[in-house]
Structure 1
Amino acid sequence: MSASVATEEERVGAATWIGFAAMCLGMFMAVLDIQVVATSLPAISGALAIPADRMSWVQTAYLIAEVIAIALTGALTRALGMRRLFALAVGAFTLASIACALSGGFASLIAARVAQGLTGGMLIPLVFSSIFILFPYRVQGLATTLAGMLAVLAPVVGPVVGGWITQRTSWHWLFLINVAPGIVACVLGLVMLAREEAKPALLRALDLTGLVLIAGALAALEIGLKEAPQRGWLSAPVIGLLGASVGGALVFLRRSTTASASPLLRLGAFRMPGFALGCGLSFLFGAGLYGSVYLMPVFLALVRHKPPLAIGLVMLVTGLTQFVTSPLAVLLERGLPARALTVGGFVLFGTGLALSTMATIDTDFDGMFWPQVVRGVAIMLCLLPPTRLALGNLPAPEVPDASAMFNLMRNLGGAIGIAACDTVIFGRAPVLAGALKQRLLAGDAGAAAIIGLPPGALDGPVMLPVDPAIEAMVRPLVEAAALTQAINEAWALLAAFAGIAALLALWMPRGRQP
């Protein structure tokens, strides 16, 4: 009797699945938008006459707004309800995409990108919190897999989509492709998701000072991480930005526990060891995931000189592998202890990252195939158990804030991972180039092989001064080889992040998660 009642109560209707699919569609378009635009920044800057030194702000403006939006999602979910907030977010994201396509210059495009980031940034935490609100335990793994596949797949297929659009149509369609899916997601979400009671009084009581503090802290952190590789981590502007970020965050955390106004983020979930551990794993996973998605196009574009579409096709291997192996990940997550699965996932992910450290200036699709396969197999193993660990045992009212923080940690991990990669690349490439030059001048045949000179090209130390024609021919080869070695060191750094995550996962509880 009780078993049949429980089964009836846990039955998930078609409307719930359709509404959840609509939310996943909106999230996918928001994540895809970042990568689609990234591959086509030169085309956009050329069309709108944006100077090269301001081009990166097309992405930075979105990312800063996105992390601020993630932090606000929990408070807005409590006030408006999940259904209303999703419809507002995906609808406004669609309108902002149209505004991007209609932009006539730098200022209007940046304003539209900020609007995109503020609205699109809410969709990821909304989707992951909905998993633990809409579904019973028995299907949460499947729902997490579907959402995780789309969230992780979007950065992989983005370069393909962006490269194809750039080469076949105009840059406007980089944004207009969001319109039809956005309308469909908005309508289906409104119709299919369960109605909830709004609590507008929570908006009127919102801690506005806390809003300014957390927005400023996150913006300073993102800008500081962006500037650190070029200016230096110890430069005055970077130290000032990172210091302001830490100071603002500390004051915000204090207000979250003492302010009389409604807090932006309820941080009580951090008292639960499982949530804190899950956030740590999410941070390290974000560093490895976003760092790897960043390093591949850097190598393919700057060393192999691939066009955007070709880069996307090479990177598609990770996403296809993930799709093929995700059902197996769901079965393993249901049947194996979470700690063993997570440790194994991060060990496998770190192995895939380490395999990429052996690239040469001649590495192409074949050499990048198996590292991508290994990483693709590992991704869902690194995502499923930590997500359940962090969010699966929380009371429903705490899930929206916890989901926002969990996803914010992954994004911050990605930002720090990319900044660390840039620091290694920009800092080490000149040093490695100088070392290769000295080895060549000394007649080192190994150095000649590294830069691609044929056997026997060096038969002893090079006589100075070097012939200008020979120097002009060899310099690009030395720079490409040094850049490759620096990128390999950045891959090693990402592998170290994965190794730390594997060690951290040893603290997970034994046995299966409830």
Structure 2
Amino acid sequence: MPDRLESDLTDRRQTVIWIGFFAMCIGMFMAILDVQVVATSLPTIQSALDIDPEQMSWIQTVYLIAEVVAIPLTGFLTRFLTMRWLFVTSLVLFVIASAGCAISSGFGELVAWRVVQGFSGGTLIPSVFSAVFILFPNERQALATTIAGVLAVLAPTVGPIVGGWLTETYSWHWLFLINIIPGILAALVAMRSLPQERVDVWELRGLDGVGLATMAVALITLELGLKEAPTSGWMSTYDSGLFAVSALSASAFIWRSLHRARPLVELHNFQDRNFMVGSTLSFILGFGLFGSVYLMPVFLAFVRGHNAFEIGMTMLVTGIAQLCTAPIAVALEKQMDPRLLSALGFALFAIGIGMSASQNPRSDYDEMFWPQVIRGVSIMFCLLPPTRLALGTLAPERVPDASGLFNLMRNLGGAIGIALIDTILYTRSEPLGQKLWDRLQAGNLEAAEFIGAPAQIVAGHTGAFDADTTAILNPLVQTAATVQALNEAWMMVAIITACAVICLPFAKPVLPAQS
């Protein structure tokens, strides 16, 4: 009888913990979704608040900068506040900042609230992934990781649909107001369900202020440099200065972290070979995931002329494929070496990305369907096994710091990937357009077919076109050149994603999740 009673109590505790963990996942989903729903409606916000077009990008940039600074602090904040109070505090701040964004009446006010929103949201993501390995026994971790992973990659997929629908049906204010009720409920549930621990005030007294300052400067200047590099040039005076400051600050932060008894961020985790490999995979996943989610809306909006809602409906294919694959990923992770599953996932992901590198100006939903299916099927295998590789063998007290670094690598991979994509789009469109003109003026029918020009205009033609023909062909050539630049960007992302497979032989064997 006592054994049965103890078993019932254990089951109840596990149920309560699962409820608390699900509340954490909801908070994380909201933080990731917020970036996407706002991105789709920036023109509406610009018009409503009368914001200078050159300032609009800062609404997203300040959020991402604050987020990337907060992510590596998750370990320290967990030790100080405990996992329970860190999540509740962060989510409450996120809700307050969301309300502040919704009632903002000008650019400065909106940007200030976005900073708070980004910083508070940045701690939610690594908190969830560290909770997987702190709250659950080994046999439950695969399922917990899957739930977190599905929501983490589903948010960018459904973001355009949600953002477009809210803006068109109601107003831009609802992009932020949708966070309030779910956020309050999730905070209340987490406060009641997550394990209770004592706040460690001594941790705050040992805060490394110099380390915090150097880390923040390094990440902020890196993000600013990546934002401006595609337009101002990677070797411009401005960007070179930002990258130099970032490198010096990062060097100071690393030296200080490695030589302090209680560092702000525990960089010694990188001495663990599997954590190093897992973090590298996380970086590459960020490159491929953020890159593909960025490239599709650019093509659908600027080439095909779709609105935010139509873009979201097209991109929903990836999310559906991902959801269908999630149970299979959980089952396989319980049986197979995570290195093999990671290799399968990244190989498929690279193939799915590479399939999008042959689009033409008329490509649309049908041509994008199977590449999206393959990417959706592969994403869970690119997220779950690398997470186990990186965090699954670490001691529980090392997991919060390690989770922050692991998630930071994914965000940095995404930031660098988008900067390189933009560089290709800015620098390659013009020369590719000139090559198309040369081929058209030489009477090349394949070029005419690619841009969608009537064959009779080009057939048998040599030399420059007259003014009327040039006026007809010019918009077609410009669009086609943009498509070719996008194709080059897709191929670059595919090649870098495929490089993940090369990293896996360096990882040590890890037992499957059920062992």
TM-score by length of 2: 0.96
Where does residue 472 of structure 1 map in the other structure? 471
Cα shift readout 1:445-466 (whole Å, capped 9, x = no counterpart)? 11111110123331223554x4
497-506 vs 485-494, which deviates more?
497-506
Give 1:370-409 correspondences, 5 Å limit: 370-409=370-409
CA RMSD of aligned residues (A): 1.7
Give 1:206-285 correspondences, 5 Å limit: 206-259=207-260, 262-285=262-285
Where does residue 311 of structure 2 map in the other structure? 311
Cα shift readout 1:337-376 (whole Å, capped 9, x = no counterpart)? 2221111111000000010011110000000000000000
Where does residue 481 of structure 1 map in the other structure? 480
Where does residue 172 of structure 1 map in the other structure? 173
Evaluate the alpha carbon distance shift between residue 85 and residue 131 of structure 1 in structure 2; reply closer, same or farther with a 3 A threshold. same
Q: Report if aligned partners of 2:389, 2:510 keep a CA contact under 8 Å in 1.
A: no
Query: What displacement does 1:471 show?
Result: 1.9
Q: Report if aligned partners of 2:442, 2:463 keep a CA contact under 8 Å in 1.
A: no
Q: Answer yes or no: is 1:296 the counterpart of 2:296.
A: yes
Query: What displacement does 1:105 show?
Result: 0.7
SS at match of 1:186: helix
How far, CA to CA, are the matches of 1:484 and 1:271 in structure 2? 43
Q: Report if aligned partners of 1:346, 1:378 keep a CA contact under 8 Å in 2.
A: yes
Query: What displacement does 1:258 show?
Result: 2.4
Evaluate the alpha carbon distance shift between residue 10 and residue 249 of structure 1 in structure 2; reply closer, same or farther with a 3 A threshold. farther
How far, CA to CA, are the matches of 1:163 and 1:473 in structure 2? 33
Q: Report if aligned partners of 1:207, 1:259 keep a CA contact under 8 Å in 2.
A: no
Evaluate the alpha carbon distance shift between residue 94 and residue 274 of structure 1 in structure 2; reply closer, same or farther with a 3 A threshold. same
Q: Report if aligned partners of 1:157, 1:319 keep a CA contact under 8 Å in 2.
A: yes
Query: What displacement does 1:491 show?
Result: 0.6
Q: Answer yes or no: is 1:28 the counterpart of 2:53.
A: no
439-448 vs 408-417, which deviates more?
439-448
Where does residue 335 of structure 1 map in the other structure? 335
How far, CA to CA, are the matches of 1:257 and 1:322 in structure 2? 39
Evaluate the alpha carbon distance shift between residue 405 and residue 6 of structure 1 in structure 2; reply closer, same or farther with a 3 A threshold. farther
Q: Report if aligned partners of 2:338, 2:388 keep a CA contact under 8 Å in 1.
A: no
Evaluate the alpha carbon distance shift between residue 348 and residue 488 of structure 1 in structure 2; reply closer, same or farther with a 3 A threshold. same
Q: Report if aligned partners of 1:89, 1:120 keep a CA contact under 8 Å in 2.
A: yes
Cα shift readout 1:187-207 (whole Å, capped 9, x = no counterpart)? 001011110111012112201
Q: Which structure 1 segments of 5+ residues have no match? A: none
Q: Report if aligned partners of 1:100, 1:112 keep a CA contact under 8 Å in 2.
A: yes
Cα shift readout 1:33-69 (whole Å, capped 9, x = no counterpart)? 0000001110111111111111111100000000001
Q: Report if aligned partners of 1:10, 1:136 keep a CA contact under 8 Å in 2.
A: no
Cα shift readout 1:163-198 (whole Å, capped 9, x = no counterpart)? 101111110000000001100111001011110111
Where does residue 500 of structure 1 map in the other structure? 499
Give 1:23-422 correspondences, 5 Å limit: 23-259=24-260, 262-422=262-422
Query: What displacement does 1:6 show?
Result: 12
How far, CA to CA, are the matches of 1:313 and 1:295 in structure 2? 15
Which residue type is aligned with residue 58 of structure 2? W
Evaluate the alpha carbon distance shift between residue 221 and residue 511 of structure 1 in structure 2; reply closer, same or farther with a 3 A threshold. closer
SS at match of 1:479: helix
Cα shift readout 1:100-156 (whole Å, capped 9, x = no counterpart)? 001111100100000000100000000000000000000000000000000000000
Q: Report if aligned partners of 2:285, 2:410 keep a CA contact under 8 Å in 1.
A: yes
SS at match of 2:456: coil
Query: What displacement does 1:423 show?
Result: 1.0
How far, CA to CA, are the matches of 1:224 and 1:389 in structure 2? 31
SS at match of 1:228: helix
How far, CA to CA, are the matches of 1:280 and 1:427 in structure 2? 28
Q: Answer yes or no: is 1:448 the counterpart of 2:470.
A: no
SS at match of 2:334: helix
Query: What displacement does 1:5 show?
Result: 13
The aligned length equals 510
SS at match of 1:196: coil
Evaluate the alpha carbon distance shift between residue 242 and residue 9 of structure 1 in structure 2; reply closer, same or farther with a 3 A threshold. farther
How far, CA to CA, are the matches of 1:223 and 1:318 in structure 2? 30
Q: Which structure 2 segments of 5+ residues have no match? A: none
Where does residue 20 of structure 2 map in the other structure? 19
How far, CA to CA, are the matches of 2:122 and 2:510 in structure 1? 34
SS at match of 1:13: helix
Evaluate the alpha carbon distance shift between residue 4 and residue 496 of structure 1 in structure 2; reply closer, same or farther with a 3 A threshold. farther
Query: What displacement does 1:10 show?
Result: 7.8
Evaluate the alpha carbon distance shift between residue 505 and residue 5 of structure 1 in structure 2; reply closer, same or farther with a 3 A threshold. farther
Q: Report if aligned partners of 2:73, 2:264 keep a CA contact under 8 Å in 1.
A: yes
Q: Report if aligned partners of 2:258, 2:268 keep a CA contact under 8 Å in 1.
A: no
Which residue type is aligned with residue 370 of structure 1? W
Query: What displacement does 1:268 show?
Result: 1.9
Query: What displacement does 1:499 show?
Result: 1.0
Evaluate the alpha carbon distance shift between residue 468 and residue 141 of structure 1 in structure 2; reply closer, same or farther with a 3 A threshold. same
Which residue type is aligned with residue 329 of structure 1? A
How far, CA to CA, are the matches of 2:88 and 2:403 in structure 1? 18
Query: What displacement does 1:263 show?
Result: 2.0
Q: Answer yes or no: is 1:425 the counterpart of 2:425.
A: yes
Q: Report if aligned partners of 1:343, 1:506 keep a CA contact under 8 Å in 2.
A: no
Q: Report if aligned partners of 1:141, 1:333 keep a CA contact under 8 Å in 2.
A: yes
SS at match of 2:255: helix
SS at match of 1:170: coil
Cα shift readout 1:460-483 (whole Å, capped 9, x = no counterpart)? 23554x433332221110011011
SS at match of 1:418: helix
Evaluate the alpha carbon distance shift between residue 186 and residue 473 of structure 1 in structure 2; reply closer, same or farther with a 3 A threshold. same
Q: Percent identity?
A: 51
Which residue type is aligned with residue 205 of structure 1? G
Which residue type is aligned with residue 256 of structure 2? R
Which residue type is aligned with residue 123 of structure 1? L
How far, CA to CA, are the matches of 1:8 and 1:392 in structure 2? 28
How far, CA to CA, are the matches of 1:154 and 1:360 in structure 2? 28
Which residue type is aligned with residue 87 of structure 1? V
Evaluate the alpha carbon distance shift between residue 6 and residue 352 of structure 1 in structure 2; reply closer, same or farther with a 3 A threshold. farther
Which residue type is aligned with residue 434 of structure 1? Q
